[in-house]
Amino acid sequence: MAGATDGNEKYLVKVDGLKVHYPITAGLTRKVTAHVKAVDGVSFRIKRGTTMALVGESGCGKSTTGRSILRLTPKTAGEVEVCGTDIYAIGRSELRTLRPKAQIIFQDPYSSLSPRLPVGEIIGEAVREHGIVPKEGYEDHLNEVMEACGLRTFHKRRYPHEFSGGQRQRVCIARAIALNPEFIVCDEPVSALDVSVQAQIINLLMDLRDRNSLTYLFISHDLSIVEHISDTVAVMYLGGIVEYAETDEIFRNPIHPYTKALFSANPLPDPDIKADRIILTGQIPSPINPPPGCKFHTRCPYAEDRCSREVPEYKEEAPGHFAACLKA
């Protein structure tokens, strides 16, 4: 590992041209007939201590991006650097030392906790395994983490089925936080929860971020939460980032037609705003056979002839505001 220079690095996560293709096989010989291009050339940087949100519809590759950054899913091409380390260039033992630094929180708190382990063991197992704290400090560390996540210390002996959805998500967060990570991928951490519980979990994530100066990659499709929690936003469509900017900028001046449509489709809790909604027609095309040219041209209300031929370049339209649209 790079060691001393780590702390001064401006960017904690650097991703360049990341591609993740899943092969589709057929027949007895398992011949590869096609590829699902789940992530097809994604590049971004996340500054230390900030939160980047990745938004898009289901199947656009946002979860796959999150997983492949942590090497939970093998990449096909591209460079991924997390905490100053090229995560795909290192061996197993080095990867093991990196694991506690980069954690993930999953969407569904019902399926991401082992039903056979008590909560104390779920949170503490990796702490012992990685030797995060000396043996005599283990119980204290566990208690501290659980309290920070809004759990009571006597919950340690309970099993996941005894908890509500919000409490379980707190356990998932505690499990990640217990390893003193620098970077956490939050993969739709609140979409399975009720509105009032969502607010509690979002507050918890923000408190922990400020207290432990964490860096988040926040994957979500709920735009009002994204606006609340993130510093920068990247919008994905069909395996590629179509627009990237700071949160205020992208919500005030969206450039890409897809971003505009996505933002206008978000229903607001105000009966007086029945805005001039842009309703996209049709479905998301298949990532096995994405449309040529601009991938969005099949649904874009402003598409021209050239959009189906030329691939738009992902370029800076305004300072710090990137978009991939021929008509920008």
Partner 1 sequence: MGDYISSKERRAIIKHNRREISRLEAELREVGTNAAVMRDPANIVEFDGLKTYFYTETGVVKAVDGASFDVPKGGTVGVVGESGCGKSVMSLSLMRLLQRPHGQITGGAIRLDAPSGTIDVAKTGNGGMGGIRGGVVSMIFQEPMTSLNPVLRIGDQLDEVVALHAPQLIGRGIIKGGGRDDVRRRTIESLEAVSITSPDRVYRMYPHELSGGMRQRVVISMAVACSPQLIIADEPTTALDVTIQAQILDLLRGIKDSYVGTGIMLITHDLGVVAEMADSVVVMYAGRVVERGTARDIYKSPAHPYTVGLMRSKPQPGRKERRLYSIPGRVPNPVSMPDYCYFKDRCEYAGEACSLYPDEFAIGNGHMVSCWRKGDI
Write out the residues near partner 1 by the rule CB under 8 A: 57-58, 162-164, 194-200, 202-203, 206, 221, 223-225, 227-228, 251, 261-262, 264-274, 277, 279-281, 283-284
Residue 227: CB partners within 8 Å, gap ≥ 6? 247, 251
The β-bridge partners of 186 are: 105, 218
Shorter beta-carbon distance to partner 1: residue 228 or 306: 228
Least distance in angstroms from the C-beta of 223 to partner 1: 8
Between β-strands 240-246 and 321-323, what pairing exists: parallel, antiparallel or unpaired?
antiparallel
Shorter beta-carbon distance to partner 1: residue 203 or 289: 203
Shorter beta-carbon distance to partner 1: residue 85 or 167: 167
Least distance in angstroms from the C-beta of 229 to partner 1: 8
Shorter beta-carbon distance to partner 1: residue 115 or 271: 271
Question: Distance (Å, rounded) from C-alpha 15 to C-alpha 23?
Answer: 22
Question: Distance (Å, rounded) from C-alpha 76 to C-alpha 40?
Answer: 9
Question: Distance (Å, rounded) from C-alpha 222 to C-alpha 256?
Answer: 18
Least distance in angstroms from the C-beta of 142 to partner 1: 22
Least distance in angstroms from the C-beta of 40 to partner 1: 19
Whether the Cβ atoms of residue 183 and residue 13 lie closer than 8 Å to each other:
yes
CA torsion 66-240-54-323 (nearest 10°) is 150
Continuous segment of H or E residues that includes residue 263: helix 257-265
Whether the Cβ atoms of residue 167 and residue 193 lie closer than 8 Å to each other:
no
Least distance in angstroms from the C-beta of 69 to partner 1: 23
Instruction: Give CA angle at 180 (109, 149), nearest 5°.
Output: 45
Question: Distance (Å, rounded) from C-alpha 272 to C-alpha 248?
Answer: 23
Question: Distance (Å, rounded) from C-alpha 324 to C-alpha 328?
Answer: 8
Shorter beta-carbon distance to partner 1: residue 215 or 259: 259
Shorter beta-carbon distance to partner 1: residue 28 or 279: 279
Least distance in angstroms from the C-beta of 222 to partner 1: 9
* Residue in the structure block whose two tokens are 């971020």: 209
Shorter beta-carbon distance to partner 1: residue 28 or 273: 273
Least distance in angstroms from the C-beta of 101 to partner 1: 27
